[in-house]
Amino acid sequence: MAASADPSLQAHNPRTPRTLLLAGFDAGQTHTTCRLAADDGGLLAEGQGPGVVHLAAPGGPQRFNAALRESLEAARARLPEAWLPVPLTAAAVGASGIEAGSQVQIQGLTLAESALGLPSDRLVVTGDERTALRGAFPEGPGIVVISGTGTIAVGSDGQGRHHRCAGWGWLLDGAGSTMDIGRDGLALSLRMADGREPESPLREAIWQVLGLDPQDPGAPQRIKALVVDPAFGAAGFARLAPVVERLAEQGDAQASAILAQNAEALVAMVAAVAAALDLREPSVAALGGGLLHLAGLRNRFEQGLRRQGALRVEPRGDACQGALHLAAALLAPDPDLGPPAAVQDASMA
């Protein structure tokens, strides 16, 4: 998730270290970012580490552990010299595949305790959509919609209530994602190949990306084998999304229909979150590679938002900044909400 300026997290004077050091992690499927800050919000350093997979997947716990350790080590190596001996006081982790209130969240918390050497009352482990929401809307109400390889929406009413929508895994619920756009384009190309749909340049464009000859009569059978290869997965479909977008912008009606259908799926997610939280004319932050890099999808999404009376806004901060806000809240919890762990689990269930 791209970083954006946050006036509450300004560059810190490295010559005057505070006693407390905080860490915020954004752990995605491709890489993990660790950002270090003083307890007054001053940013100090940032480092990168490997990505994570769902904790239930083969090697999931090991990859989670490595992601936290290596990104923290990389960030610490970039600390101003005066901060090098300062121990970590609190941290928050936003990770792909962590569901609030689930056994997976409990497992993630246990793993983070070991990886970071912190007690559970100085740790928050939650989904990366939650840290994205806190970064985008640190104080008031709002909705975050993320469209990348997968998709999810989550919102806050600014009074302690949260609601999530979609994001139930690419095999079940990827509408609005680059994975679904690419898969829908590939499926359309096969219908063209067997005569169910009229030919368009889309088939040739998609098959060339896959290294297939559009004139080869055996290409459809190779596609069938390709997509069930474990190495293909959701990312394999997602890399076809830019092809669908390019054809749509060139006037291909069927490619345009795919983008429109997926944009409407994202709008429906916003509508569901807004209804659950009683938000009228909500502010919506659009995140993820699909909405940031596919202009055709983003434009159609924004048109749908306007029809709903919602407004797309720029996020105040990114997911790492949201994680830092959650870590800071562990040091000074809201007295009306109880201890930090209760705040996290009750407000984000």
Query: What pLDDT is attached to residue 96?
Result: 84
Total domains, the chain = 2
> 290, 148 in Cβ contact below 8 A?
yes
> 270, 154 in Cβ contact below 8 A?
no
308 falls within a domain? yes
- Which CATH number do you get for residue 169? 3.30.420.40
Query: What pLDDT is attached to residue 345?
Result: 32
Query: What pLDDT is attached to residue 97?
Result: 84
291: left (phi over 0), alpha (psi -120 to 50) or beta: alpha
> 210, 321 in Cβ contact below 8 A?
no
Residues 326 and 283 grouped into a single domain: no
123: left (phi over 0), alpha (psi -120 to 50) or beta: beta
Distance in angstroms (rounded) separating the CA atoms of residues 254 and 188: 8
Query: What pLDDT is attached to residue 2?
Result: 39
Query: What pLDDT is attached to residue 17?
Result: 52
Q: Please, which residues have CB within 8 angstroms of residue 107's CB and are 6 or more apart in sequence?
A: 55, 61
Domain that residue 308 falls in: 140-315
Paired tokens of 199? 């030919």
7 falls within a domain? no
Query: What pLDDT is attached to residue 333?
Result: 54
Residues 320 and 212 grouped into a single domain: no
Distance in angstroms (rounded) separating the CA atoms of residues 72 and 50: 11
Distance in angstroms (rounded) separating the CA atoms of residues 32 and 93: 10
Residues 154 and 297 grouped into a single domain: yes
Query: What pLDDT is attached to residue 76?
Result: 97
Distance in angstroms (rounded) separating the CA atoms of residues 191 and 197: 5
185 falls within a domain? yes
Q: Please, which residues have CB within 8 angstroms of residue 144's CB and are 6 or more apart in sequence?
A: 129, 132, 133, 136, 137, 153, 154, 155, 284, 285, 287, 315
Characterize 194-228 residue by residue with b for buried, 16 or more Cβ atoms within 10 angstroms of its Cβ, and e for exposed: eeebeebebbbbbbeebebebeeeebeeebeebee
Residues 178 and 132 grouped into a single domain: no
Residues 105 and 150 grouped into a single domain: no
Residues 335 and 243 grouped into a single domain: no
Residues 155 and 120 grouped into a single domain: no
Which residue reads 């979609």 in tokens? 166
Residues 113 and 216 grouped into a single domain: no
Residues 133 and 166 grouped into a single domain: no
Query: What pLDDT is attached to residue 283?
Result: 97
> 133, 127 in Cβ contact below 8 A?
no
Kind plus residue range of the DSSP H or E element containing 130: helix 128-136
207 falls within a domain? yes
164 falls within a domain? yes
C-beta atoms surrounding 170 within 10 Å: 19
Residues 114 and 149 grouped into a single domain: no
Paired tokens of 121? 């009352």
Distance in angstroms (rounded) separating the CA atoms of residues 345 and 143: 19
pTM over 0.85: no
Residues 147 and 266 grouped into a single domain: yes
DSSP 8-class letter at 188 = H
> 116, 123 in Cβ contact below 8 A?
yes
99 falls within a domain? yes
Residues 151 and 191 grouped into a single domain: yes
Per-residue confidence in pLDDT tens, the chain, 349 aa: 434 444 444 444 444 555 799 999 999 878 899 999 998 878 999 999 999 988 998 899 999 999 999 999 999 999 999 999 999 999 999 998 898 888 999 999 999 999 999 999 999 999 999 999 999 999 889 999 999 988 999 999 999 899 999 988 888 999 999 999 999 999 999 999 999 999 999 999 999 999 999 999 999 999 999 999 988 988 899 999 999 999 999 999 999 999 999 999 999 999 999 999 999 999 999 999 999 999 999 999 999 999 999 999 999 999 999 999 999 999 875 443 333 332 333 233 3
11 falls within a domain? no
242 falls within a domain? yes
Distance in angstroms (rounded) separating the CA atoms of residues 330 and 39: 11
